[in-house]
A and B are shown apart, each in its own frame.
Chain A
Amino acid sequence: MGYPHKSHPRETPILSKHFGDPDARTLSGWRQRGGYRALEQALGTSPADIVNVVKESGLRGRGGAGFPTGMKWSFMKPGDGKPHYLCCNADESEPGTFKDREIMRWTPHALIEGCAIGAHAIGAETAYIYIRGEFTEPIRVMEEAVRDAYRDGILGKNAMGSGKRVDVHVHRGAGAYICGEETALMNSLEGRRGNPRIKPPFPAVAGLFGQPTTINNVETLTAVPHILTNGAAWYKAMSLSSPKSTGSKLFSVCGNIRKPGNYEITMGFPFKEFLYDLCGGPLPGRKFKAIIPGGSSVPIQTVEEAEATLMDYEGFVAQGTMLGSGGVIVFDDSQCMVKQIARLARFYAHESCAQCTQCREGTAWTTRILERIEHGEGTMEDLDTLLEIGDNMTGKTICVLSDSCATPVASGIKKWRNEFEAHIKQKRCPMRTAVAA
């Protein structure tokens, strides 16, 4: 299957295998497809053994940071006498990213299974799935699946007859990009404003409700049952380039491209073939101009950089950017880069939680300057000011929202400086006039 289009023959559909198949949403349909066998096996396995398998598999966090999952789980001290919690980060809000939405819409039980295994592995009895408030359909689907899993004895005080308690609850957010930051998510879940917390203490020491907590992305947790069923070696073997990047990865593709949608590929796939072969290349009569490969917070690539990239954690870094969340945003030659970068900055200005001065002031100031340049009212000094503000916004705040605003601005000015200068010299957007004429 596949959604919104059939899986391409060069994809590796593991997590996305049942996208578009409504029968896979139901508990009976999921069981027919082999669902919950991995959980049954896991509940009979010691947490330490599960953590080791995940460590060996090389699975890394799919939310953006790429932290090794097994290592993260190993930070949770067994037998410390404290309640442990698992949080599943389903606050998918990074512009360009819409993979977790499809996982939850089409394969809700896959996520429940991953959460239950994760909870068992870190010694937690409770997992919370924090879903962004706008995802009304995924929330409805997940809530129904959780109810069915309880009714069937998969969840609850005697999960699958194992004698172990596993509770999974869906928690709805209420509109705040920042709640995808792990400690902001925990604050929000506790009923607070979603301000990120100062670290340390890290969540594994004092997280949700002040207790040891692990937080994992939807896609990360959904990969875990497959790793337990097929083994660490199977997962590790899925790698076309760097041994540090293993498994399959979902990429969401959007913007000016023929076939937007989700694609699941083996780590290390050539980005050029991905863009032109799988996603169909540019729209008729157009050329690609710029590509953001990992959600709006990563540096923007030129087409030349993108075409030389291998799609894994190391491959994107080698071409000056990051894999991030795997949200690929494509801009073609009809787009004004100044306008696009100004729009990105406006997003961050809107979403800043306003806790840190550098971010609260910096995102708004950056946006004002960029919009001024876009409207032909900028000066050359503005470009220096933007870079200077960006410097003061990077590495100086509680979380990285501030850095995420500065990053596309800095890479944008560096790579499309001629467009910025043209706006300033001609006192108008050269592209807009060209279109009007």
Chain B
Amino acid sequence: MSAREEGGLHAPAHASHSSAGHGHPAEHTPVFTGDNRKKLDEILSRYPSKMAALLPALWIAQDEQGWVSEGAMAEIAGLLELTPAYVKGVVTFYTMYHQHPVGRHFIQVCTTSPCGVCGAEDVAKAFLKHTGCGELGVTSPDGKYTVIEVECLGACGFATPIMINDDFIESVTPERVPEILGTLK
């Protein structure tokens, strides 16, 4: 671990980070209290370094908040003895951590080649149409849905697989889209 990571440069857990375009920094409600803290402590016991708990900690924050806010990054940095900048560097590497709030139902449609040749692009279009999102990556006006294309979900024999939050649905066709959306609240 570098001197910078070990040094006294960490922001306190409640540090406010004003980020460009967001106006006033939002007040951060700590994520790692109660059960989440216990969960993190158990995870820390699995590794010889605190830093190894970073991805799991980010998952806990995202499960709690629906995305990973700068406040959560700073809180995690404090707990794992890292800098907020380091944590943000890791967050931005991985596609599954949301750096901004997303729709309550985050819909990922696999359109990589094996699904692409089975009509995945039409599935993505059907979701855009029936959710009212209109465009990939844009949240619907009611805040309910965000639809994105995702690279290979690893279920190529069940084209087209999609994910809605943590739920995986196989063999989706454009015709099934209204029925699938109907099951969501």
Binding site for B on A (CB under 8 A): 4, 83, 92-98, 101, 132-137, 167, 169, 171-177, 188-194, 209, 252-256, 260-262, 296, 327, 329, 331-332, 335, 340, 343-344, 347, 350-351, 353
Judge if B106 is at the interface, Cβ distance under 8 Å: no
Q: Is B21 an interface residue (CB 8 A)?
A: no
**Other contacts beyond A192-B90, A343-B116, A347-B151: 7, CB < 8 A:** A93-B154, A134-B163, A174-B94, A174-B95, A260-B156, A344-B113, A351-B151
Contacts of A192 in B (CB 8 A): 51, 90
Candidates A98, A167, A190, A332; contact of B156 at CB < 8 Å: A98
Quote the shortest CB–CB distance from A63 to chain B (angstroms): 13
Tell whether, in the assembled complex, residue B163 and residue A296 are in contact, meaning their CB atoms are under 8 Å apart.
no
Residue of B51, B56, B151 near A172 (CB, 8 A) is: B56
Q: In the complex, A378→B117 CA distance in Å?
A: 23
B137-177 interface mask toward A, CB cutoff 8 Å, 1 = contact, 0 = none? 00000000000001111111111000100111000000000
A343 touches B155 (CB 8 A): no
A347 touches B51 (CB 8 A): no
CA distance A98 to B156 in the complex (A): 7
CA separation between A204 and B69, bound complex, in Å?
A: 38
Tally A-B pairs: CB < 8 A. Answer: 137
Give residues in B with beta carbon < 8 Å to A.
46-49, 51-56, 58-59, 80, 82, 89-90, 93-97, 108, 112-114, 116-118, 150-159, 163, 166-168
Q: Which residue of B lies closest to A83 (CB)?
A: B48
Name the distance in Å between B13's Cβ and chain A's nearest Cβ: 18
Enumerate chain B residues within 8 angstroms of A209, measured Cβ to Cβ: 47-49, 52
B59 touches A174 (CB 8 A): yes
The distance from the CB of B89 to the nearest CB of chain A, in whole angstroms, is 6
From B170, which residue of chain A is reached at the shortest CB distance?
A4
Contact of A96 among B52, B56, B80, B114 (CB under 8 A): B114
* Chain B residues, CB < 8 A from A83: 48
Contact A193/B53 with A134-B96, A209-B48, A256-B118 known, Cβ cut-off 8 Å: no
In contact, A190 and B154 (Cβ under 8 angstroms): no
**Min CB gap A297→B, angstroms:** 12
Residues of A within 8 A of B89 (CB): 193
Which residues of chain B are within 8 angstroms of A189 by Cβ–Cβ distance?
52, 55
Q: Which residue of A lies closest to B157 (CB)?
A: A260
Decide if A191 touches B155 in the complex (CB within 8 Å). no
CB <8 Å contact, A255 and B114: yes
Beta-carbon contact of B51 and A255 below 8 Å: no
Interface centre among A133, A134, A172 (most CB of B within 10 A): A134
List B contacts of A252 (CB < 8 A): 156-157
Contacts of B46 in A (CB 8 A): 167, 169
Contact A347 B152 (CB under 8 A): yes
A187 to B118 alpha-carbon distance, docked (Å): 35
A171 to chain B, nearest CB (A): 7
Tell whether, in the assembled complex, residue B95 and residue A335 are in contact, meaning their CB atoms are under 8 Å apart: no
Q: Contact between A136 and B163 (Cβ–Cβ < 8 Å)?
A: yes
Q: How far is the CB of B2 from chain A (nearest CB, A)?
A: 12
Residues of chain A lying within 8 A (CB to CB) of residue B118:
254-256
Is the CB–CB distance between B112 and A191 below 8 Å? no
**Chain A, Cβ-Cβ closest to B57:** A191
In the complex, what's the smallest C-beta–C-beta distance from B87 to chain A, in angstroms? 9
| Set of chain B residues within 8 Å of A343, measured between Cβ atoms | 112-113, 116
